[in-house]
Amino acid sequence: MNKISIIIAGILVFFLGAAPPAHCQQGQGKYVTLKYGSQEVLRSFDDQIYLGRSLRSMMQKNTVTVQDEVLAKVDLVVEKAETVLDMFPNKLHFTLILLPDSDGVSRVFYQNYHKRVNYLSFYSLSQKAIYISVDDANIHILAHEIGHAIVDHYFKVRPPYNIHELMAQFVEKHITD
């Protein structure tokens, strides 16, 4: 190899090696595999998901890390959403991917479906995954997407999209009741 090829190869290795994967950290909850790119994104998401007094009183008290707290919050929202829908699917498990902003959500949606959107979050039926913008996250958006995951896991034959959406909206509306 000549000198220029070695330099180019070195630069490629440096830049490819220096670019962190989009979701380099993860944690496991009762219902969810949580994926996120940095502690900053995780902390921001934790701050955005305000449970309110009644839900907060039901949360586990043994959270040590921010990741533990986020996983406990998500598990609690799942259980409350199941109660709201009166649907308790067997083996409910999905992936929750935290993206810094809605541009990230739009990029992922375009990569997966080749369609441009301006969503704050979405549930991928084929991947069993929720993608959510941390900048825009709140308990209602999270509950809405979890509602989609529950409906998806509950029925053997997927209901029509409009019914799916109505059930997710119902969860969103009643999550803090």
Which residue's structure tokens are 């990569």? 111
Q: Which DSSP category does 159 fall into?
A: P
User: Which structural domain range is residue 83 located in?
Assistant: 22-174
Residue 158 within any structural domain of the chain: yes
Provide the domain count of the chain. Answer: 1
Domain membership flag for residue 125: yes
- Whether 5 is in a domain gets the answer no
- For residues 95 and 35, what is the distance between their CA atoms, to the nearest angstrom? 7
Q: In the Cβ-directed half-sphere of 133, how many Cα atoms lie within 13 Å?
A: 15
User: Do 31 and 75 contact (CB within 8 A), yes or no?
Assistant: yes
pLDDT at 17: 36
Residue 142 lies in a domain: yes
Residue 162 maps to which CATH number?
3.40.30
Write the DSSP assignment of 103-129 as a string of letters: HHHHHHHHHHHS-----SEEEETTTTE
| 17 found inside a domain | no
| Section 100-118 average pLDDT | 96
Task: Determine which helix (DSSP H) or strand (DSSP E) holds 98, and give its type and residue range.
Answer: strand 94-99
pLDDT value at residue 59 = 76
9/19 Cα distance (integer angstroms): 16
Under DSSP, the state recorded for 90 is: T
Please compute the mean of the pLDDT values over residues 64-82 and round it to a whole number: 95
Give residue 22's pLDDT band: very low, low, confident or very high (50, 70, 90): low
More reliable by pLDDT, 76 or 24 = 76
What is the spatial distance between Cα 176 and Cα 140, in angstroms, rounded to a whole number? 8
Residue 14 falls within a domain, yes or no? no
Q: Has residue 10 been placed in a domain?
A: no
Segment among 39-43, 54-58, 115-119 with least mean pLDDT: 54-58
3-state secondary structure of 8: helix
In a domain, 6, yes or no: no
Q: What is the mean pLDDT of residues 80-86?
A: 97
Q: How far is it between the farthest Cα atoms of the chain?
A: 69
Give the pLDDT band of residue 11 (cuts 50, 70, 90).
very low
